Structure 1
Amino acid sequence: MTKTIQPSQTAAFYGQALLSFGASLTAMALGLVYLPAPGWIRAFLAIGLLYVVTSTVTLCKVVRDRHELSEVTTRVDQARLDKLLAEHDPFKVDAQ
């Protein structure tokens, strides 16, 4: 039976991703607050920023779910193949 190694992420990578997301969101929010434009333009850009953030989170979830589904399918196919190989006896003579 084959043993698969699950990839793992380190706490440093997770922390870096959170800090990067927080820094970029904060920078954009501050940019919108101090933008020399009327309030309705800043509000429109803020809604656009929120839409980009939520659609990015949704895209990440969809990509992760598709990847996990393909891994499950691969594991099921591998288990079926292992079972067939374990049951196969090339030296077995069929009685007729």
Structure 2
Amino acid sequence: MSRPIHNTMTGAYYAQCVLSFGLSLVSVVLGIAYLPVGPWVRAFLAVAVLYTVTSAFVLAKCVRDRQEVTTMSSRVDQARLDRLLSEHDPFKVDTP
């Protein structure tokens, strides 16, 4: 028997994640904007933050995709095993 996958993400948890991400991004952008450095340094830091954010999204997607593939392949293997076990009759005698 395979275990059911439960979606434990509530609306409040999702909102907290989105707000936390938005607040952290705004904080960094404001920090870069008010940093007492030249425009080239600000531009470099802004590009570095954007690269970090996009890399984090890509990494999260890769981890999610790998988890989905693993879950799907284990479900297929479990379904095959369940079918083999349901078709198996230990008392059946094979006649030539």
TM-score, with length taken from structure 2: 0.94
The list of structure 1 runs, each at least 4 consecutive aligned residues, that deviate by more than 4 angstroms after superposition, is: none
| Alpha-carbon separation, structure 1, partners of 2:82 and 2:72 | 15
Letter in 1 for 2:70: S
- 1:16 equivalenced with 2:49 (yes/no): no
Residue equivalent to 2:75? 75
Give unpaired runs (5+ residues) of structure 2. none
Residue equivalent to 1:35? 35
The worse-fitting range, judged by mean Cα deviation, of 77-86 and 4-13 is: 4-13
Give unpaired runs (5+ residues) of structure 1. none
Q: How many residues align?
A: 96
Root-mean-square deviation (CA), in Å?
1.2
Residue equivalent to 2:45? 45
Structure possessing the higher relative contact order (Cα contacts under 8 Å, 6 or more residues apart): 2
Give the CA deviation at 1:75: 0.6
Identity of aligned residues (%): 55
Give the CA deviation at 1:83: 0.5
Residue equivalent to 1:91? 91
TM-score, with length taken from structure 1: 0.94
Give the CA deviation at 1:44: 0.4
Which deviations, in whole Å up to 9, do the C-alpha atoms of 1:34-60 show, x marking residues without a partner?
000001001000000000000000000
| Alpha-carbon separation, structure 2, partners of 1:37 and 1:4 | 54
Give the CA deviation at 1:78: 0.5
> 3-state DSSP class of the match of 1:94?
coil
